[in-house]
């Protein structure tokens, strides 16, 4: 059996495309960046890109396909966004209508795919840095909350900033800010530390998405901007058809987590980055 934790993303994507791996992607192809996917009609692209550029912390764009082309040439040359994710949400007129396992029929010549950085990148770094992640330890989904912070709108796209919350032991809060802050293309540093009421969250035990948290004595709630912000904006814009990844079934790129901190190298390595390795591959 292939060790998907250590597998190159190309092998993991192939496994997903061929239906051999059907589960979530968290922790797989360790060290390579995973991404949120938003697919929408090209008529909506300009406003969506404006929206993302005006809200880069919740919506960090890492690649955009050409219309009709399902290959993300920068993030994963050779990949196929129609088939390389395990599950997709389908939205019609802003409403979630179905969950599908490929987009062969839905990805018409009018559709474009946008990849956005994802919290898995900084979570890996937090874990490597000795910051415990309660929702991982307990096998829960990280809680997500709407805040009273409005995004900067663009055309029909608007809505609240959505955040994830992770409880951090008080002595480690500064360290967690510094570690995650390096990953500017994966939500970066927390946008709030401490009292949830300050950002409009009245009850930590009632997240809009994910599982209720388990905040213990001596821990501080720490809030990071979340990619679900872009899904809220998509609901507001109500395109006739749009698709996204299903949370936890992410797109696995050929970019390193480090690329989302230091920037994607300007001079592509021969072979579109495929020859790049991590230290642990050596």
For its own copies, the binding residue among 12, 74, 126, 226 (CB under 8 A) is: 74
Is 251 in contact with 85 (CB distance < 8 Å)?
yes
Which residues are CB-neighbours of 230 under 8 A, at least 6 positions away?
36, 38, 51, 52, 58, 59, 116
Dist CA 112 CA 96 (whole Å): 19
55 near its own copies, judged by CB under 8 A: yes
Q: Smallest gap, in angstroms, from Cβ of residue 95 to its own copies?
A: 27
The torsion region of residue 142 among left (phi > 0), alpha (psi -120 to 50) and beta comes to beta
54 near its own copies, judged by CB under 8 A: yes
Dist CA 36 CA 47 (whole Å): 18
Site string for its own copies, 174-213 (x = CB under 8 A): -------x--x---xx-x----------------------
Nearer to its own copies, 16 or 237 (CB): 237
Q: Smallest gap, in angstroms, from Cβ of residue 115 to its own copies?
A: 11
Residue 38's alpha-carbon distances to 41, 50, 124, 247, 251, in angstroms, are 10, 14, 23, 12, 11
With tokens 């990071």, the residue in question is 224
272 near its own copies, judged by CB under 8 A: no
For its own copies, the binding residue among 27, 56, 78, 94 (CB under 8 A) is: 56
Interacting span for its own copies (CB under 8 A) from 13-21, 45-53, 100-108, 272-280: 45-53
Nearer to its own copies, 53 or 197 (CB): 53
Nearer to its own copies, 161 or 256 (CB): 161
Nearer to its own copies, 12 or 228 (CB): 228
Around 103, how many Cα atoms within 13 Å sit in the side-chain half-sphere? 33
Nearer to its own copies, 16 or 186 (CB): 186
Burial class (CB in 10 A: 0-12, 13-18, 19+), 251: buried
> Which of the residues 123 through 152 are near its own copies (CB under 8 A)?
149, 151-152
266 near its own copies, judged by CB under 8 A: yes
Burial class (CB in 10 A: 0-12, 13-18, 19+), 8: middle
- Of 158, 249, 167, 165, the C-alpha closest to 216 is 167
Is 13 in contact with 79 (CB distance < 8 Å)?
yes
Site string for its own copies, 10-39 (x = CB under 8 A): ------------------------------
Q: Smallest gap, in angstroms, from Cβ of residue 132 to its own copies?
A: 25
CA angle 145, 117, 198 (to 5 degrees): 30
The site for its own copies (CB under 8 A) is made up of: 45-46, 49-50, 52-58, 61, 63-64, 73-74, 149, 151-152, 161, 181, 184, 188-189, 191, 225, 262-264, 266-267
């Amino acid at each position: 059996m292939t060790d998907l934790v250590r597998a190159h993303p190309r092998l993991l994507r192939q496994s997903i495309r061929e239906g051999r791996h059907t589960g979530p992607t968290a922790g797989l192809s360790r060290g390579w960046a995973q991404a949120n996917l938003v697919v929408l009609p090209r008529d909506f692209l300009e406003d969506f890109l404006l929206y993302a550029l005006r809200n880069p912390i919740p919506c960090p764009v890492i690649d955009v396909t050409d219309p009709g082309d399902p290959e993300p040439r920068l993030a994963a040359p050779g990949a196929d966004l129609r088939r390389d994710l395990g599950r997709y949400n389908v939205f019609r007129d802003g409403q979630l209508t179905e969950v599908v396992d490929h987009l062969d029929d839905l990805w018409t010549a009018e559709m474009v795919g946008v990849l956005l950085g994802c919290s898995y990148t900084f979570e890996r770094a937090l874990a490597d840095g000795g910051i415990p992640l309660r929702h991982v330890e307990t096998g829960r989904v990280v809680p997500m909350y709407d805040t009273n912070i409005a995004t900067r709108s663009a055309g029909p796209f608007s809505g609240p900033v959505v955040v994830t919350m992770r409880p951090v032991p008080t002595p480690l809060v500064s360290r967690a800010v510094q570690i995650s802050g390096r990953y500017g293309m994966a939500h970066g540093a927390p946008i709030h530390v401490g009292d949830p009421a300050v950002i409009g969250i009245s009850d930590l035990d009632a997240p809009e998405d994910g599982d209720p948290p388990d905040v213990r004595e001596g821990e501080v709630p720490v809030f990071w901007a979340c990619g679900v912000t872009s899904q809220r904006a998509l609901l507001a814009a109500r395109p006739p058809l749009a698709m996204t990844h299903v949370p936890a079934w992410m797109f696995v790129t050929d970019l390193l987590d480090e690329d989302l901190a230091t920037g994607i190298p300007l001079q592509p390595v021969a072979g579109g980055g495929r020859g790049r390795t991590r230290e642990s591959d050596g």
